[in-house]
Amino acid sequence: MNVGSLVGGRVVRVHVDEGNPVVAGQVLVTLETETLDRQIAEQQAAIAAANAQLTKALAGPRDEEIRRAAAIAENDERERRRYSALYREGIVARELYDDAATKAKTSAEDLRILREGTRKEDIAASRAQVEQQQRRLATLMKQRDETLVRSTVSGTVQSFVLRPGDIVAPNQTVAELLEPRELWVRVYVPEVLVGHIYPNMPVNVRVDTWPNLWFPARVATIPSEGEYTPRNVQTRAQRAEQVYGVKVVLNPDRRLKAGMAAEVDFGVKDVLP
């Protein structure tokens, strides 16, 4: 089981080492959070501003704003009537009356809009802005949580090479964990035997620590293509002969440890030439 983080960063603390037992949820590595903390603070301020804008939209215009608009509209209407009388008497030009009438009409429309309150569309837009900013904060908080690289399973740290100061890339493997239920051995089977082996086939495994005990196991996978025997594997077949790296999974047993040398008995030795 490979464990990593969706975000990258500098390692500030390591909590485990190779060979240490771990439980699900245990923190393995802590990454720096300075940049994310600053972004989270900025996002929280943006949410506060968006909430203030929504509150303002829901509340609508203040009473004093409406009273001021009403006073302006009333004054502009008086001016319109005055210029209308002066125009009829031929004292002022039609242009001056038209300007006064336009101003009075605009003021009356502004007052009407204020009295109707904030438009539903504007309230919906403000609410959508708040939700968008909150989703952004949730994303940042999730990223910050990823700076605590945790074990997803209970098991043993099999591979771990990070130290404080190391840089971890996003999705980079931080540690390799071995679960008790994932003990397995890869055995290289000669081509003459592979036809007698099938997935989920029950087999027995023996380790050097317990030479007189056979542990139950099963065939997990059989590769579709053969290869040449690795130089560090000893078999009765010639090294140049083609073999298949069969993966055998053992039943959970506390006596079995990762790295033990093992021998697999498929029960088909009698077919060897």
Residue range 155-204, pLDDT digits in tens: 888 788 899 999 999 999 899 887 777 778 888 888 888 888 999 999 99
Domain 183-271 sits in CATH at 2.40.30.170
Q: Which residue has the tokens 């036809």?
A: 195
pLDDT of residue 186: 87
Beta bridge mates, 149: 29
Per-residue confidence at 269, pLDDT binned at 50, 70, 90? Answer: low
Q: For 211, which DSSP code?
A: E
Per-residue confidence at 233, pLDDT binned at 50, 70, 90? Answer: low
Q: Going by C-beta distance under 8 Å and a sequence separation of 6 or more, which residues neighbour residue 164?
A: 11, 12, 13, 14
Asked whether 107 and 72 are in contact (CB, 8 A), the reply is yes
Residue range 53-64, pLDDT digits in tens: 999 888 888 888
* CATH domain 2-32+151-178 topology: OB fold (Dihydrolipoamide Acetyltransferase, E2P) (2.40.50)
β-strand pairing of 184-190 with 148-150:
unpaired
